[in-house]
Amino acid sequence: MNVTTHTDPEALTLTTTTELAASLERAWRLVSDPRQLERWWGPPEWPATFVRYEFVPGGRAHYFMQGPDGERMHGMWRILSITEPREVSIEDEFADDHGEPSGDIGVTTALLTFEPIDGGTRLTILSGFASAEQLEEMVKMGMEEGMREAIGQIDALLSED
Amino acid sequence: MVVYELTDSEVDAMFRALADATRRDIVNRVLHENASVSRLAERYDMSFAAVQKHVAVLQAAGLVTKSRRGREQIVSGNLASIHHIQKLLSHFETVWKQRALQMAEVLRDDATTEAPPNPASSGARVDIPHD
């Protein structure tokens, strides 16, 4: 499994690159199809369910992630742009249980770029944060969500090969 | 929390940046107090452009940050905050690494599952009742 990341603390960005063993069209469905998307958006302990998904430029999405105790964390996306099947740009933020932005913590951005490579598709994700304070708040919240356990598991998985 | 580890090339950049006496002096100064590039330039027997170059090397190595205040470029040596932000970002590195792994799992399932892909999706609004 080939995943590389690069962080830029001054620009407050994180770039993740992964090579997927699938055609461009197949890989694109990971994001265009909400049933596919919810299989990878949330951590294993906090699986995501998308209750609204308008995969069009200007469209919105509403999802929740449900924790082991049944607690739900809601989030919403604004889909800024789509260049099928190459690129999608979104804003992600915390939401109330109707999928309306809660105004907590603020907006993060993600630009997903798919490109065909030999034997598959390279996916590059550029995530952007608004401020160091926002980053700090988000990490705190993530820790409270109990996502901490996942960290060791992933690093173990990635170091296997 | 994942502890951020510098890669070899990042460590190299840091050591290269600190191998120069002027640059060490700049880091020392801005760790105590922020300074504009022009104020730093006054302290050294070299051109503004030369000082700016040194600052750029330090910046690339992650040892100082540069921000703009009006027409001035302010150099800060907030190592602690750089490392802190780096640590915070590394949390999201993990989040995205995990997502990438889960994507790979979804794709692996294609090969093992008979079930056809769910056609209800692209561009469609999907409302699922929930509480």
Chain B: closest CA distance from residue A159 (Å): 12
Please indicate whether, in this complex, the C-beta atoms of B106 and A53 are within 8 angstroms of each other: no
Q: What per-residue confidence (pLDDT) applies to A1?
A: 59
Give the nearest chain A residue to B119 (CA atoms): A33
pLDDT, tens digit, for every residue of B78-88? 666 566 667 77
Give the nearest chain A residue to B91 (CA atoms): A139
Domains and CATH numbers, chain B: 8-77 (1.10.10.10), 82-122 (no CATH)
pLDDT, tens digit, for every residue of B13-39? 777 777 788 988 898 788 778 899 999
pLDDT, tens digit, for every residue of A97-120? 999 998 878 899 999 999 999 999
Contacts with B67 from chain A: Cβ below 8 Å: none
Contacts with A32 from chain B: Cβ below 8 Å: 121-123
Q: What per-residue confidence (pLDDT) applies to B48?
A: 92
Bigger pLDDT: A82 vs A160: A82
- The ipTM is 0.83
Contacts with A26 from chain B: Cβ below 8 Å: 107, 110
**One-character DSSP codes across chain B:** -PPP---HHHHHHHHHHHTSHHHHHHHHHHHHS-EEHHHHHHHTTS-HHHHHHHHHHHHHTTS-EEEEETTEEEEE--HHHHHHHHHHHHHHHHHHHHHHHHHHHHHHHHHH--SPPP-S-TT--------
**Is the pTM value of this prediction over 0.80?**
no
